[in-house]
Structure 1
């Protein structure tokens, strides 16, 4: 829509549009400020506030909504996963998010090697379905766990395995498309006879084909002469697909148009054979240029992927103390190439890799180190460096150094000239005083580069613009493409004339006009493009604010709440549908506002104050954060370590300064205050909470969901029966007995005491009853939480001073509580050395026992492990696994993410259904399928409750399982003595 229209008239027109869309589609239409904030940004440097957002439930709803947009003559942007890096996924338009509902596989034909899909389907969902038949959809960008096929078609996406089977364009057989004005038809390769018939039939479709034929005839020779003859030419439109020798393939001509020409309704895609057995050969070189020079030497061995990686990313990970175990897998060198081989058998794949390794081991000239990795889990860890390393190092830890940015991210040249290009490119980077990392798809000559552009000053932007022009000229000098994977969007479109020349630019513009004469489909991208320095998310006018916070957000990347929010660069790993923990609420809803990225974007907008205008009192932010489980999954799973649990607690502490907290805040948030009193009369307390007719009233009073059972108080607290051990000269351990182990499950603490005694330690308790205050954070009680922590510091802070004959460790049982000592304690008291010592000496029981080489008695049982989210995020899973190994148990670790209970979250009436839905993603089905005698191991109180209430299975804490082994050993010993 014309941006010069008077604002009041524009608002009126958009109100009418919203009304028409809402009347037609109902509650999937969102013109509110929350959704505008969610979709104003993607994974690029750009930000444009949408007119509104529509999340159609079906393709037919999308068609109907598009017709309404056409009637109102407003721009339309069709969006997939929102992981584009060049700005093509944001616009002043009605944004259609196809990923939530329009994500089905409509047909999968293994014999034909094809599938028909809707545009919102995630790449990995299709790949998983194809793998059942030993097939795959070959293009696999680093975002394959969340990018959609519609977005891949729009960007002509590639990935590590394009060496094996090409870009998206080579893997598209046909598309059902719709023009902005509503014409709907299938496109694909077209014979001469079919072309004549379509043109003869007339109408809008006939006119399009006739115009495309004229375009092909007019510019055919120029296209053949000027289009780069390389595998990764992604920039511009695929006009070469209209040439007779390419079958006048209209579907493939539309691939890579970034939603600027037609709207994709369905796609028929090619599936290729997926090598079932794969191995990696990692080659170490002295520098990245020598690694690139060797591209011609990799190819003869038939690899299916060739990925390069320079030292800069590795150094960045090491400086942040990340991925140390993965980095240790790399052979000696200062640059690496990961060469993947695939075959039907492991032996054949290994044989291919060994032939290549032998060649490089015996190669004359520069030294090359080699390492062959055949087991799948280790290969996945190596790929993790490649897929997350750049994102993990995208926030600068050097004061005054700009963050490495996308923007010149994916240029491609002839792979046979890659080494020389990289030398010239690095020289250009050095001349401008920038720093960069170099990595990418070496087999196809596509190089990724995150560069330290300064976009926050006018001078910095001018310098960035000058660099981009020279970088474009350099790529063209090497016969390359400005984009080799991510598309042009806004970041590179302005410089396409350097690559194509003015006459071919006219051809690109004519192609756009044939399809979209009114320039209503994603305007300002690819052609008729916005300038590269317009619409910047963080530009010279970026608003820097320093809100006063209760937690102190201090990290190597900088200090302050705004700096924390800048961690989110929009790559959307939180939108992955499986694996790890992040983000449980998104997985259960597929709603952007319930993703970690969505919440980070809304909080960022709150600080900017343009869309979200009421700051800490924002109901939009409160709505987005309401379903955050504070599981801390993002703290470990997000490559940039966004910590939404802390951001939520901080926001709520301010929000409730002027708002009344819900009843649940008093019942569950303050459980550490009232539970000790209720535990004095456990019989009465349980009568009130467990008797059916009284429990209903109690739950209503406490703000607890009617379908949830209230926890039952133990007859005796742990301290009631605790007796301090007599001084024995053995090392002492301070046992942290949390509220839940004290009042509800004291057997866990008693088991821990006995196990620690068996391990050779005397157990002591703090000299007074203390509470870490974990439930307080869920309701923003940060002042009260800080007061609890101050009491802890004053009470036990000196216990762990160097040279003191105190306890050797603070050992705890509930991961949620122990995570307070590792996380919130140092956020609340960043300068207090006593707080740091407590944090450094805080252990979960299993980790502590492993660190002290404890050998438990044998217990040969089958165990299924579900790990508490806080344990995974801050402690890891290896402690429990190692103890099970030592006792001879057979175990499986569920990749079950969050259980869905998450402290008080699942008890909330508004969250109960979502909580159970999260449990049904992986955890509940796995437990139902487990054998009845399988022991379910989980250390979290909330996990225990969720499993008990969800699938009616009992669970054991690691302390209880270790005690069971200890008791069984004692029983055997007693039997032996008795027989003698």
Structure 2
């Protein structure tokens, strides 16, 4: 183990800034594999010079170095015990796109989707970087090169090695070289030491290839996905001594790649997507040879458990209608005709005539296609925390043998035998993957905690290696060997080939300091398992490191990471810190540790991770737990007493609204707010008077609280009553006009602010009172909650917090009953529209609407609930600001969070307001409406046609047949 103090002292002497505090080391002790190795320090280089300096220091000290990008390796390639270099934080520039040469040059830390986007923009969407692994939205170019990544379209485009033109790299002792398809040269002209090293490396590599010609020709390059071992095939004379491609797939053990020039491929003009349903996964695999005759661009598959998990986690509409079956293939094919789908039709005809499919469906609608591809892309996460479609129970599964590949024509027979092997070992596995390339990703329910479970793991992987070799396959078809499979390579390769592999690594790095534990200085496959002998179970362990929280586009999670780019602020980073804190048992956790406080500080509690994370990590709930333990019996931060107790204060403010609002507009009032923990330049809401609320509710329809059994229960929450009375009035008028009987309740609270500030004991008391009241009101009638965050709290947090252990069986059952009845307004109106009972628009239907969906509604009721409701209500065009607004309850108001809150607003909301100055803006969430109000005061470009009074409106306000102004509609002060 490296001495972290000596290492950091030496690096700092060279002007570098390594980090080795407990929080940072916890974040980088894991990747997406089963393994945990704590580094001595972590460094975020800004340039190739920084990388060279760091490697020179480590070489001198004999400290190992592991290069890392997105940290999404499933085989343990991005963790190590010495210095970890995270290239993704600063070294992520796209340096050049040459459309004529069809190449792009980018730094190793660039995320693949960002590289593709840059290429799209530069070539008018004509060209792309073809490799598209499922982790492409957070995996980096350097990692794709290290593992020789492939992706969904590898049937057409092959592996990363097929697209590499040139690599810039740093050797283990800090020399900068450029590796090409014909040799090696010094990167910096006049660098005689690097030039001499390049000449020496070339000579050694030529000698290696000459000495092992026969073995290389016989044993390597046998199947399309033979990724295991080093790619020495490219050093052969007939391959042109292609050193660049020989380095691809070397898993960081030879050099540290700092940038690369890659070849670009032409984008197909049109494609078709056919979904074929099968009785089981083996039948699907047996149809692959038939499909490959049609030269598809992709043949991907999933089974029913993954689909059921997606629907359970993200709602029934999260997956498009699938054809009959228990397993499905997604088959994409280029269309060369200007209209129609002739190639798809030919493939369908062939499949119906000679295939095993039960049913087929062509998917044309872009949103449905995106949904289906997302199921496949989220396979690694979804399959790790599965929902049994029959019982609803959670099934835990793990990588370790998720990456083998065989010849596509042998895939069906291989999978049939593989299932038998699972049965013999008492295991079950979920299968998905690249069927067209013969590469299967299989997650298995290993028990990695107990010694007996680890013995089964070792024996199974050994037997599985023998099985795949018997089918002429490769232990790794995409993810690399790493810690998960390198020990098993002697089953696949001859002693001569293993010697050649070892010599290849030693040519580049004689001291063996680069990425030890995998292909070099190989560790046993059952060493360093992260769950070994960990008996404590904690929700944070649901995170397996797939890293979807590190994306910058798509979905909502994780807004704080998108703002800072720091692993600390990702859902994964926080989960890893919690995993470290709870390893020795929940009774030994230091809840007041600075690592936990720092990790949780910038979590917005937006709950988007509970939906967007493929494993369902709910960091908002975990943050509440941390705050609960941290401040139990202690003085809390000021904002916990001001913002965190807002519903309590809202019982009083209606009677003081006039003078209170007037005071808060003054300099003294703003200073008082600062003393209460409110951040600088935050725009405070207008408090509603009791008279304003009474006026809004004065002329309620006769259906409100009519004696007949209610069709719905209308829950007027604290925020709506005390801060948006016009929305309360609209709710009564709109829903009262649609339903013959509405039970309206306005006396209870959901406990949201108590939950978000960790006052869980108080929250349970509040929720118990509310649940009793609602359970007695309205029988089984839906409970429509005006504020989306309150709806989400009653829907999700009520049954989560009122469990049998906490409140007993009867009250837990009541909580589940009430939670199941809760609807957001958009959900309910969408249901009414489907029944033909939608409320009428009071005037012309808006031509188009910009929607800021509240994060809690997004997480609890579905990511398209607002769009679906508006579409059902007849709105022609819906523009979604897909992201968090940046306020997120108390977060955006709290001192110290201002910069992040503002940065989050710039991710989606503010740009949408600027792009659509004429649009009506829909914000059912009070937080979102508050952010729009603030933006209007500080940024004129967001004001649109309404000027500085532009505000977000609730859907009920848009439908209100008799809107009545209140003081809260007054333009905010400058």
- Per the normalisation by structure 2, the TM-score is 0.91
User: Is the partner of 1:440 in helix, strand or coil?
Assistant: strand
The 2-side partners of 1:670 and 1:192 are apart by 65
Between stretches 914-923 and 651-660, larger displacement belongs to 651-660
1:163 has 2:146 as partner: no
Describe the shift of the 1:128–1:730 C-alpha distance in structure 2 as closer, same or farther (beyond 3 A).
farther
Describe the shift of the 1:958–1:25 C-alpha distance in structure 2 as closer, same or farther (beyond 3 A).
farther
Indicate the residue corresponding to 2:30 in structure 1.
41
The 1-side partners of 2:575 and 2:788 are apart by 25
Q: CA RMSD in A?
A: 2.7
Deviation, 1:633, is 0.2
Indicate the residue corresponding to 2:70 in structure 1.
81
Match of 1:269 among 262, 266, 270: 262
User: Is the partner of 2:557 in helix, strand or coil?
Assistant: coil
User: Is the partner of 1:648 in helix, strand or coil?
Assistant: helix
1:619 has 2:571 as partner: no
User: Is the partner of 2:556 in helix, strand or coil?
Assistant: coil
The 2-side partners of 1:906 and 1:701 are apart by 16
Indicate the residue corresponding to 2:951 in structure 1.
954
Describe the shift of the 1:322–1:815 C-alpha distance in structure 2 as closer, same or farther (beyond 3 A).
closer
Alpha-carbon contact 1:632-1:645 (below 8 Å) kept: yes
Indicate the residue corresponding to 1:245 in structure 2.
238
The 2-side partners of 1:93 and 1:880 are apart by 49
Describe the shift of the 1:308–1:828 C-alpha distance in structure 2 as closer, same or farther (beyond 3 A).
closer
The 2-side partners of 1:443 and 1:673 are apart by 60
Deviation, 1:306, is 1.2
Within 5 A, what are the aligned runs for 1:491-890?
491-539=484-532, 541-542=533-534, 544-545=535-536, 562-609=537-584, 615-657=590-632, 659-691=634-666, 693-716=667-690, 719-721=693-695, 722-723=697-698, 728=706, 732=710, 733-766=712-745, 769-801=747-779, 808-830=781-803, 831=809, 832=811, 833-852=813-832, 853=835, 854-858=837-841, 859-861=844-846, 862-876=848-862, 878-890=864-876
Describe the shift of the 1:232–1:611 C-alpha distance in structure 2 as closer, same or farther (beyond 3 A).
farther
Deviation, 1:477, is 1.7
1:213 has 2:206 as partner: yes
Describe the shift of the 1:309–1:741 C-alpha distance in structure 2 as closer, same or farther (beyond 3 A).
closer
The 2-side partners of 1:610 and 1:79 are apart by 30
Describe the shift of the 1:104–1:659 C-alpha distance in structure 2 as closer, same or farther (beyond 3 A).
farther
Deviations 1:726-762 (A, max 9, x none): 5755553433222222122101111111111221344
Alpha-carbon contact 1:612-1:620 (below 8 Å) kept: no
Indicate the residue corresponding to 1:128 in structure 2.
117
Deviation, 1:188, is 1.2
Deviations 1:824-877 (A, max 9, x none): 211221241332232122222232233334323243222111100011111235
Indicate the residue corresponding to 1:392 in structure 2.
382
Indicate the residue corresponding to 2:939 in structure 1.
none
1:94 has 2:119 as partner: no
User: Is the partner of 1:438 in helix, strand or coil?
Assistant: strand
User: Is the partner of 1:676 in helix, strand or coil?
Assistant: coil
Indicate the residue corresponding to 1:119 in structure 2.
108
Q: Which runs of 5+ in 2 are unaligned?
A: 804-808, 936-941, 944-949, 966-974
Indicate the residue corresponding to 2:920 in structure 1.
935
Alpha-carbon contact 1:584-1:918 (below 8 Å) kept: yes
Indicate the residue corresponding to 2:353 in structure 1.
362
Deviations 1:388-431 (A, max 9, x none): 24522323668999732111111111112222222222222222
The 2-side partners of 1:438 and 1:761 are apart by 51
The 2-side partners of 1:367 and 1:31 are apart by 55
Alpha-carbon contact 1:317-1:393 (below 8 Å) kept: no
Deviations 1:145-184 (A, max 9, x none): 1111111111111111111111011111000011011111
User: Is the partner of 2:167 in helix, strand or coil?
Assistant: strand
Alpha-carbon contact 1:37-1:612 (below 8 Å) kept: no
User: Is the partner of 2:714 in helix, strand or coil?
Assistant: strand
Describe the shift of the 1:417–1:342 C-alpha distance in structure 2 as closer, same or farther (beyond 3 A).
same
Deviation, 1:879, is 4.9
The 1-side partners of 2:400 and 2:512 are apart by 24
Describe the shift of the 1:613–1:910 C-alpha distance in structure 2 as closer, same or farther (beyond 3 A).
farther
Between stretches 609-618 and 158-167, larger displacement belongs to 609-618
The 2-side partners of 1:473 and 1:596 are apart by 38
Alpha-carbon contact 2:301-2:433 (below 8 Å) kept: yes
The 2-side partners of 1:961 and 1:709 are apart by 24
Describe the shift of the 1:337–1:81 C-alpha distance in structure 2 as closer, same or farther (beyond 3 A).
same
Within 5 A, what are the aligned runs for 1:5-16?
13-16=3-6
Indicate the residue corresponding to 1:383 in structure 2.
373
Alpha-carbon contact 1:137-1:271 (below 8 Å) kept: yes
Deviations 1:248-305 (A, max 9, x none): 1111111111111100011001110111322211223333333222222112212101
Indicate the residue corresponding to 1:259 in structure 2.
252
The 1-side partners of 2:197 and 2:437 are apart by 39
Deviation, 1:311, is 4.3
1:342 has 2:339 as partner: no
Indicate the residue corresponding to 1:145 in structure 2.
137
Alpha-carbon contact 2:275-2:361 (below 8 Å) kept: yes
The 2-side partners of 1:604 and 1:456 are apart by 14
Deviations 1:754-780 (A, max 9, x none): 1112213444443x7322221222221
1:904 has 2:890 as partner: yes
The 1-side partners of 2:298 and 2:69 are apart by 26
- Per the normalisation by structure 1, the TM-score is 0.90
The 2-side partners of 1:769 and 1:198 are apart by 77
The 1-side partners of 2:79 and 2:113 are apart by 24
Deviations 1:449-478 (A, max 9, x none): 112222222222222212222211222222
The 2-side partners of 1:198 and 1:478 are apart by 49
The 1-side partners of 2:185 and 2:451 are apart by 57
Deviations 1:906-935 (A, max 9, x none): 11221111011011112211111113x310
Deviation, 1:35, is 0.8
Alpha-carbon contact 1:93-1:522 (below 8 Å) kept: no
User: Is the partner of 1:669 in helix, strand or coil?
Assistant: coil
Indicate the residue corresponding to 1:550 in structure 2.
none
User: Is the partner of 2:655 in helix, strand or coil?
Assistant: coil
Alpha-carbon contact 1:798-1:834 (below 8 Å) kept: no
Deviation, 1:433, is 2.0
Between stretches 655-664 and 866-875, larger displacement belongs to 655-664
User: Is the partner of 1:617 in helix, strand or coil?
Assistant: coil
Deviation, 1:192, is 12
Deviation, 1:596, is 0.7
Deviation, 1:448, is 1.5
Deviation, 1:104, is 0.8
Deviation, 1:313, is 3.6
User: Is the partner of 1:513 in helix, strand or coil?
Assistant: helix
The 1-side partners of 2:209 and 2:584 are apart by 49
The 2-side partners of 1:895 and 1:334 are apart by 36
Deviation, 1:801, is 3.8
Between stretches 566-575 and 872-881, larger displacement belongs to 872-881
Deviations 1:480-524 (A, max 9, x none): 111000000011100111111111111111111111111100111
Deviations 1:77-102 (A, max 9, x none): 11011111111111102111111211
Describe the shift of the 1:734–1:611 C-alpha distance in structure 2 as closer, same or farther (beyond 3 A).
closer
The 1-side partners of 2:387 and 2:350 are apart by 40
Query: What is the aligned residue count?
Result: 926
Between stretches 87-96 and 283-292, larger displacement belongs to 283-292
Between stretches 710-719 and 613-622, larger displacement belongs to 710-719
